[in-house]
Structure formats: C-alpha cells, structure tokens
Amino acid sequence: MTTELLQLPQIALIYGFSPTILIIMGATALVSWLVSSTLKRRFNEYSQIPIRFTGAQIAETMLRENGINDVRVISTPGKLTDHYDPTTKTVNLSEAVYGMNSIAAAAVAAHECGHAVQHAKSYAWLAMRSKMVPAVQFASNTMSMLFIAMFFATTFFQSPVFLYAWVGLFAITTLFSIVTLPVEFDASKRALAWLEGSGVSSSMEHEKAKNALFWAAMTYVVAALGSIAMLLYYVSMLFGRRD
C-alpha cells in the first residue's frame, strides 16, 4: 500500500494532476494511522491481562482439538509479524505472542490457527487467495519496474497503452486485498468460537479478544478501501474523466 501511494503522484504528473490524489492519499493515510494506533494500543492493553496459557500453548491446543497434527507452531522475530504459512504448514508467532500468557497473545495465536483450520478444511476464499499469490507478485514487481522506468522514458508512458497495463496490474492487487477480507474475518470467527468453547477466557476476556481481532481486521479493510479508491481513480484517468 505504501509503494502504491508513492507511485500515484508520479502517474498523475504524466496524465494530469488532480486534487483527488491528495484526498485519496490523505484519507487513506489518516484512517490507516488511526486504525494502526488503536490496534497497537489495544494490543498493549490486553497484553497486561494474564491467562493460564501462552500463545504457543493456545495454538498447539487449538490445532490438536481441530484434528490438525501436521502444522508446527514456531516463533518468528519482530512484533505483530504473526502469520500462517500454508506452504510450510507453520503457524508463525511473534516472540511476544509465542511466549506471553495474555488475552492479546491468545487472540492472535488463535486467529493464526484459524487460517490453519481454513487450510485443512479447504476454505474456498483461502484457496483463491493462495492461487492469486503468483499473479499478485508478478503485478507488484512489474508495477515497481514500470514506476522506475517512468523517469527514463516519460514519452512512452504518456501512451494510453501504459495506463491500460497499469490499471490491469493494479486491479490484480486490488482484487487480492478484497479476497483477503473474508479470509481474515473468517479466521477471527473461528478463533473466537474456539476460545469461547474451550473455556480459555472468561466472558469479559472474550470480549477483549474480540475487540483486539476487530481492530486487526480493520487494517485489512482500510487497505482494501484505499486500493479500491485508487483503482477507481486510475480507471477515471483511463476514460478521461479527470477533475
């Protein structure tokens, strides 16, 4: 998303500047900052609420109770770097989540295991997102190369052909961000259902876990909306509907 925002003004200089660019960039950056700040604040707050199990223990228990025995739970460096890797079948938990026994760690660990459950059950949206990864990587790499090339061949990039190509590539990354939404919301739903059913958290702690996962999901919503807004702007440029 950051790279796409940086590329937007350069394309606008070639095809005609519009204040819409500033609105898109400003609104997306502001909302993204607000959501990210709230997420970090909630995570820090809920990290102070202890429970009986560490994030690693939560993950291992949830996987086992869902009949998943071929997925490993490992620690990964960094903060908020938690993710599930379907290619290696590993639930990667950040160091803080892996060894911490808090409601925040439990929520994050259970969420990532939610993706492992999706994988095991062949959840359609996860399968679609996984199949899109090569195309998204190609689109992102190609857009980065085109962005760099703009500085050396501006005349060529004034051609409508370039804008058609750019819109097509950007549409792929936008579609990926949209497909990601049901995947993330479903993983959180599975996580919360398991946390409640397992008795790991009390009703009050469950609500805090739900709140933490809600703000985590909002980061994906903001990214998707920002990407859609930019895609619509590119399309309007393509058809000559500039402000």
Least confident of 42-46, 102-106, 154-158: 154-158
Backbone angles phi, psi at 151, to 5 degrees: -70, -15
Question: Above 50 in pLDDT, residue 6?
Answer: no
Q: Catalytic residues, which ones?
A: 112
pLDDT of residue 177: 96
CA 176-83-181 angle, 5° bins:
30
- pLDDT, tens digit, 9 for 90 and up, residues 119-170: 999 999 999 999 999 999 999 999 888 777 666 655 555 666 777 888 899 9
Backbone angles phi, psi at 139, to 5 degrees: -60, -45
Residue 69 — very low, low, confident or very high, per pLDDT cuts 50/70/90? very high
Question: Above 60 in pLDDT, residue 25?
Answer: yes
- Beta carbons of 15 and 237 less than 8 angstroms apart: yes
- Beta carbons of 113 and 62 less than 8 angstroms apart: yes
Show the tokens assigned to 110: 């259970």
pLDDT of residue 80: 81
Distance of alpha carbon 107 from alpha carbon 113, whole angstroms: 10
Backbone angles phi, psi at 181, to 5 degrees: -60, -55
**96 SS3 class:** helix
pLDDT of residue 200: 77
Residue showing tokens 């805090």:
208
CA 171-177-179 angle, 5° bins:
100
Show the tokens assigned to 149: 């090339």
- Cβ-based neighbours of 209, under 8 Å, separated by 6 or more: 46, 103, 104, 106, 107, 110, 191, 192, 195, 201
**102 SS3 class:** strand
pTM of the model: 0.83
